[in-house]
Amino acid sequence: MSIHRGEFERIRTVLEESNADGPLTAREILHLLEEHDESFESAHRIATVLGRRAQTGDVEVIRDQPYRYRFDNTGN
């Protein structure tokens, strides 16, 4: 299953606009998206998108309870 590139970009853009700092859970990211009028299917979908992008190094997955996600901001 292919991840639509736009989903990752929407997440990253909202986090940049919010000046979100530090690692965030998928649920925290979902709340930020909702505050910026960006609809997203679920926290699970966000975790799926970010988990797949972690394979390319764009996102760091912190395997804790709950998982947290940190973005690589170099080059942005």
CA atoms of 21 and 58, how far apart (whole Å): 16
| pTM of the full structure | 0.85
Residue 63 identity: R
More confident residue, 22 or 69: 69
- The per-residue pLDDT for range 15-63, each reduced to its tens digit, is 999 988 889 999 999 999 999 999 899 999 999 999 999 999 999 999 9
Residue 24 identity: L
What domains appear along the chain, each with residue ranges and CATH number?
Answer: 5-71 (1.10.10)
Q: So what's the pLDDT on residue 76?
A: 42
CB proximity list for 41: less than 8 A, separation 6 or greater: none
CB proximity list for 58: less than 8 A, separation 6 or greater: 8, 71, 72
Whether residue 1 is predicted with pLDDT greater than 50 in this model: the reply is no
